[in-house]
Amino acid sequence: MDSTFNEEGRTSPYLMISANFEFSNRVQVEFHDGSDYAGDWLRRVDLWRTRVLAGSRGGYDFDISFDLSDDAFAELREYLKILLREDCFREQ
């Protein structure tokens, strides 16, 4: 994003995973692919130390590589455990 944070002018991708447990047990995924927004329900997540693979019920697939400190990765892993009600971390 540029410094204006103008969402209408966004050209960079993003992915947001969230849930509202008060109204549903489903986990939502919202994303921007660089040109348009979309959203769906999450159906699966596989997490590795530097990568996450996720898929939505509507057939969208996400393959995201990242570089996080150990503390930030531990926080991501715990966040996903709470959302998904299971540990999606994979050793291999």
pLDDT of residue 11: 80
For 70, counting Cβ atoms within 10 Å of its Cβ (0-12 exposed, 13-18 middle, 19+ buried), the class is exposed
For residue 2, what pLDDT is reported?
Answer: 56
In whole angstroms, give the CA distance from residue 29 to residue 8: 19
pLDDT band of residue 3 (cuts 50, 70, 90) is low
Sign of CA dihedral 59, 61, 32, 14: positive
pLDDT digits (tens, 9 = 90+) for 31-55: 988 888 899 999 999 999 999 999 9
Per DSSP, the residues of 21-33 read TTT-SPPEEEEE-
- Containing 11, the helix (H) or strand (E) segment is none
